[in-house]
Structure 1
Amino acid sequence: MKTIFYMLIIIFGFSISASDARASNSLGIFAECLVQYDAERMKAWVIWDGPGLIYKELGTVVRRSGCDQSVNWDYWDFRGALAEALLKDKYASRPVPDLQDAKPVTDIEMALAWGNNDGREGMLLNVFSECEVRKNSGEIFRIFMTKFSSDAENQMLKTLKNNAAACRSLAGNIKIRISNQALRARLAIAFYLTDKDEISTEN
């Protein structure tokens, strides 16, 4: 009886993780479709800090684009997926730039001084993500080229966390307690925004 019970737990756990992976992959496909339909509008959605613009325009864009929105998504994860799709489209046949000396995006002092607990954690995650992007943009970009929830993604994000002492310290010794998908999204947004000036001047 115990053996059957444990097998059911294992099967249930696997089905949940498989469902999460399919949802993540579906979100990535949805984002790539939207970028192909209207890259300029997707850039605005990534840059805009807040869900209002996306939620206002989403229904019309999805209807006109024909892109399949068959998966529920979190605001940050969606923006991250769009940022990834834009970056992969841009650097499909070009070298990834070294962003170490790019113009700063996140106000570190303001993030560290932020009073509201929820807002503070979000700001510090931005500090952490931008720090990691600046530290090794090539390695971060390689994460975006892995399949969502794959062994390769898990290993690369595990390595990033294990080597992230300097960026965690910069971000007020923040503990990275978010999911891999959420961390990947934050890294993608940070990469896009740090690289934004170059993107905007080329289009």
Structure 2
Amino acid sequence: MTKTSVLICDDQELMRAGLRMVVDGQPDLTVVAEAGDGETAVAQALTLRPDLVLMGVRLPRLDGIAATVQVRAALPDTRVLVLTACDRDEYAYAALRAGAGGFLVKDTPAAELLLAIRGVLRGEKVIAPSVTRRLIDRYVTGAIAPLTDKRLDVLSGREREVLSLVARGLNNAEIAGKLFLGETTVKTHVARILAKLHVRDRIEAIVMAYESGLVRPGG
């Protein structure tokens, strides 16, 4: 029997070990690799082409949302299930908009995690019960139009360009090459974006980029 291949990405070694134990304990699933950061996860996914990636959110080098964007863009047949310690609605929203098939909190019981894994592999949308249904209705199915968001109005045209590339998973060097800028200039733009938007880090800026409609999956 051909087993479904799974790549695990989380910055905590104990979390990866626990997930591996759950996945490898199933006769139809097998873990083919582990990664402790987003860049490694993307590289391993491109090499191994797993059926599913279990993806953390707050990861070193490249966050899980941006990594999900890259994996889904390069490997549309690879499913992604995002796991995070925090069930904030905006994280779930950003994960789904980035192309993930599901969003769960890390303390989900093993039986529910396995149900979610199989659901995502079937192409279903799986979301943590603690996150409200309005996220799917409003932002994924389009049943309700997204709220008007003026928060990005504070950004210049160039800063919007940089933010859109950050949200698509590019690092500073890649953005510099794409926009014909110096890497130091890109770093300055990113710092200004974070300050203007009053966000703590790149992942919160990415959430805002998706929430505002600046970036859309596959765009």
Q: TM-score range by the shorter chain?
A: 0.3 to 0.5
TM-score, structure 2 normalization: 0.30
Task: Looking at secondary structure, tell me which structure has more strand per residue.
Answer: 2
The structure richer in helix per residue is 1
The TM-score, its normalising length taken from structure 1, stands at 0.32
Higher relative contact order (CA 8 A, sep 6+): 1
